[in-house]
Amino acid sequence: MPDFMIGLKVYSLDWYWKYGLDYRAAAAELKALGVSYIITMSRFLPMSNSAVDSEIPSEKAHLLNTFDDLKFKDALKDQGIEYFGACNMFFDPVLIRKHGNIPVDSHGDPARQIDWYFGGCPTDEAYVEEQISKIEHAMRKMNMDGVFLGFMRFPGFWELWLPGTKRKEWPEYCFCHRCIEKFQKHSGIRVPAVKAKGEWIKANCYDAFVDFKTTTITNIVGEVRARIRAINPGAKIVLNTVPFDTAHYDNAGIEVFAQDPRRLSEVVDIFEVMGYHQILGRPMEWIAKTGLYFKKLTGQKVVCTVQVQPLYITGMHAGKGRSETITPEEFGDTLQSIKEAGLDGAAVFTWSDFLEQQFEKHDFSYLDQIKTR
């Protein structure tokens, strides 16, 4: 793998069913872009729709009847491109509802879906086992270079945390009955029979609760790593990392979402920091600075995600002050700033944006930017 890695998030199989690329043609397209790794959905590890569409339209589903993920991975290997299978651990609405795995806030109220987002609670052991079993199955079938763990955190729609958001107004999960029982066993602290147990915890033993949450997330990542390495000893874990540095987000990355960089550095090989600056209303320069924050804390490889197109500008997100454009030059400058900062690479979000520009709009301006970095 090169010193500066260019990766691409492949959150749809539209390259196959919509644009008609075969395995070798797809791998060749990625190689021509200078891509050294992809983070991808697969038929073994499918994705639900999120801010982008991942699900194939029902009228096109038959086009995947003969799709072979292993052939795609092998075509990528021939081009020297690493394959990281993506599993959105705690974002799977169908599986969440199947298990009744509904998070609860500090007031005791169950979480509701916001826009596309509906996250699950990380302490549901049956749910976690079902997800890890799917990852193991995918690893046995495909011998992937590694696994990308998306939504590996306590729930919350972090993309709504725009400048000016006050921590005290942000809902925090999960204070469900199961979590409180597990917390009591973990900490030895007895939570009294008050109406809002989560509020009591926040007021009386919050540090211990944060330790419980971060231990939960770290242990799950460690379990995934151990089980995939039992199949492929060289397999890497890539963590989908909430980009919350302490300077801007009041330690919410650790306390609210339970991703403690120092602890996770023991079980994560590459931190993929979600540098969605347009979504979060931050300047371009913020991305590299945030990446360096995680690099300093972890000592591990850090790559920053870069947007091709603006998101969260319509519907409930309209009028929130987010920029409605990302120019090719801004996209290219962002890649360059990450490289000049001494970080390990970038992950471009998403290949579907490039494919649309290339095959539908015949616009190569963004593709030319990535080729020159």
Rounded to whole angstroms, how far apart are CA atoms 319 and 312? 10
- Helix crossing, 206-229 with 197-204: angle to 10°? 100
- Scan for tokens 């690329």, then name that residue: 21
Model confidence pLDDT, tens digit, residues 244-288: 998 889 999 999 999 999 999 999 999 999 999 999 999 999 999
- Burial class, 362, CB count within 10 angstroms (exposed 0-12 / middle 13-18 / buried 19+): exposed
Measured CA to CA in angstroms, residue 280 lies from 198, 283, 302 at distances of 28, 9, 20
What six digits make up the tokens of 189? 């602290």
From 3.20.20.80, 3.40.50.150, 3.40.50.2000, 3.30.565.10, which CATH number describes the 5-371 domain? Answer: 3.20.20.80
Model confidence pLDDT, tens digit, residues 76-118: 999 999 999 999 999 999 999 999 999 999 999 999 999 999 9
Measured torsion, CA atoms of residues 167, 168, 171, 174, in degrees rounded to the nearest 10: 90
Model confidence pLDDT, tens digit, residues 280-316: 999 999 999 999 999 999 999 999 999 999 999 999 9
What six digits make up the tokens of 155? 């729930």
